[in-house]
Chain A
Amino acid sequence: MSDNGALLSVKDLSVHFFTSEGIVRAVQGVGFSIKRGQTFALVGESGCGKSTTAISIMRLLPKPQGKIVGGQIIFEGQNLLSLSERRMRRIRGNRIAMIFQEQTTSLNPVYTIGNQIAEAIKLHQKTGGKEAWAAAVETLQKAGIPDPAWRAWQYPYELSGGMQQRAMIAMAVSCRPALLIADEPTTALDVTIQAQILELLDEIQKQIEMSILLITHNLAIVAERAERVAVMYASRIVEIADAKRIFAEPLHPYTRGLVESLPRMGFPGKRLHTIPGAVPAQLHLTTGCKFHPRCSIGGRDKRCQTTEPELKEIKPGRWVACWYAPEYKTS
């Protein structure tokens, strides 16, 4: 993958967790790139390594157990993995920001939301108390919170779930980051609030030309909001494509299974499609293609059982890791 002006370029990233029961290879050889202003979705089931990938970009892995064991993360021309902790801190919140799944627990309960947002601003922009507070109120307003001057004095527990999520978004975008990593931003919200939050992210994105790395297992929001999609399975990326193409023409059997599993309107009484089997436990991964035990095509194929297919770019912008994908040359 070449850089050519990409904002973020992840190359061959591998992350291991060293536990008392063995080494968990949570992320293996993951690579993708995100352009400026683009919304890039990383999809997969629980445990496939997408959240770990996101956290690794910010270098927020839990200290003794988690380690980035290989690869590069090129952001705005720098390899983040070679930066000192000090310089990394200047990037966190400032150039790259993150919002989390559980909004209730992501805000410090003993500080007002205005205070927390102002803290983020003060850290990166060297402004005084009053200026930072004013900027915090302004950010709250941009996040769609009504009466922000008053709300800024409230504590997290005084806000509803949707408001808390908006507050967290406000905190994340307060310093106008170039990249926002959204880790399951809507999973813990009701459907109506979900739509609002996605709208909000859209607006903010347009305003400050921000890229979004959207981590989710909800294909519906991927279809609606993402421009590029990468599908992860058992610690590896199996397919990357433009959002429109991936739904119309999924190339990897797993992606195909996911797309076909989406319930469709207009077919009452039809059975829902499922992918047989379950995601393998991290410690007991099979040889060969990680998906082959559940694959209708490669289930009994010798090659699929023994050799792991690499992620290859079969067409410009179209990547797949499957021996049986069309035009997948075994070179």
Chain B
Amino acid sequence: MERKAAVASLAVIAAYFALAGFIHIAEAFDWQIGPTLWRQQAGESYSPPGADNIFGTDIFGQSVLRKTLYGAKISITVALLASLISIAIGVPLGAIGGYFRGFVDEIIVWIYSTLSSVPYILLILAFAVVLRDRSIFGHKLTGITAVYLAIGLTSWVGICRLIRGEVIKHKNREYILAAISYGCSRRRIIFRHLLPNVFHLVIIDFSLRFVSFIHAEVILSFLGLGEANRPSWGAMINDARTELSRGVWWQMAAATAAIFVISLALNIFGDALRDSFDPKLRTRVERGS
């Protein structure tokens, strides 16, 4: 039963990723199909879900279905980029701190302790607002860039802690001593010997953390900090603030459903991954031969 749930979840996740990828390609080649046509008028303003528009339309008469599908592109892309940034920061810092200990480690721990003691949402908000209209190397930061940068730069603490703990455990193992005994430099030990042995944590953390990145993006979009001219789930939920009083529930329902499904799938899959990687963390013991 667990197996089936995990596989089903993987399928759902793959579907979302495929959708996001498809929209990227479609926009690059300027294909006019499905989600990329979200701007098109599909019906009367605020028409409820019906035969021609499964999820109804928004204030501009745009298809909610198309907007929801398009939102996948933004959410998945942002979460992916934010993940990559946070891994790129958290893993090396964790490995270096865990291996060298002493002063270097103290600095790293101090940095991430301070960072993690600020309420997450406020922190991301602060970064997003500050990054919003800046330029890096002459390249202007768009709304969406600010979003994934903000999330990435603040969310590396969890993986950093995990990697650091595991490196501390592993660095006294005999195979590391053996590797030093045949002449490996410290850099080699960290990157060639230790990291491959702790990397499974990154994979598990990635799958579980992806959800929170999607949520973070939704929240930022809801607060108006995301991409201004594109539909995203957060923006749709934001619209619902005024819509609900008029009895227009379908935009909020669609966005929420989309978020719910991917979150559930990621959680189930992440748990399954964790169970298969580290038997010690299993919640249910399997017996029998």
Contact = CB atoms under 8 A, between A and B. Distances in A.
Co-complex (A, B): yes
A60 interface: yes
A92 B181 CA distance: 6
A184 interface: no
B96 to A, nearest CB: 15
B173 interface: yes
Nearest to B184: A123
B166 to A, nearest CB: 13
A79 interface: no
Contacts of B183: 89-94, 120, 123-124
A255 B179 CA distance: 35
Contacts of B196: 110-111
Contacts of A110: 196-197
B137 interface: no
B197 to A, nearest CB: 6
A105 B174 contact: yes
A58 B181 CA distance: 7
Contact of A60 (B101, B102, B177, B197): B177
A40 interface: no
Contact of B180 (A60, A94, A109): A60
Nearest to A124: B183
B74 to A, nearest CB: 37
Nearest to B196: A110
A120 B188 CA distance: 12
Contacts of B197: 108-110
A89 B174 contact: no
A74 interface: no
Contacts of B175: 105-109
A3 interface: no
A268 interface: no
B118 interface: no
A90 B183 CA distance: 6
Interface residues of B, number: 19
B102 A97 contact: no
Given A90-B183, A120-B183, A100 B193 contact: no
Nearest to A174: B182
Contacts of A109: 175, 197
B185 interface: yes
B182 A97 contact: yes
A97 B172 CA distance: 19
B177 A100 contact: yes
A106 B182 contact: no
A98 B193 contact: no
B1 interface: no
Given A64-B102, A108-B179, A110-B197, A100 B185 contact: no
Given A64-B102, A100-B178, A89 B173 contact: no
Nearest to B186: A85
Contacts of B178: 98, 100, 106-108, 168, 171
Interface string A165-183: 0001001100100000000
A102 interface: yes
A60 B181 contact: yes
Contact of B181 (A93, A105, A111): A93
A45 B101 CA distance: 33
Nearest to A105: B174
A97 B184 contact: no
Contacts of A58: 181
The 4 closest A-B pairs by CB, nearest first: A93-B182, A93-B183, A105-B174, A92-B183
Interface of B: 101-102, 172-175, 177-185, 192-193, 196-197
11 contacts: A60-B177, A60-B180, A64-B102, A89-B184, A100-B177, A100-B178, A105-B174, A106-B177, A106-B178, A108-B197, A111-B196
Interface of A: 58, 60, 62, 64, 89-94, 97-98, 100, 102, 105-111, 119-120, 123-124, 168, 171-172, 175
Given A60-B177, A107-B175, A171-B182, 19 more contacts: A60-B180, A89-B184, A90-B183, A92-B180, A93-B183, A94-B183, A98-B178, A105-B175, A106-B175, A106-B178, A108-B175, A108-B179, A109-B175, A111-B196, A119-B182, A119-B184, A120-B182, A124-B183, A172-B182
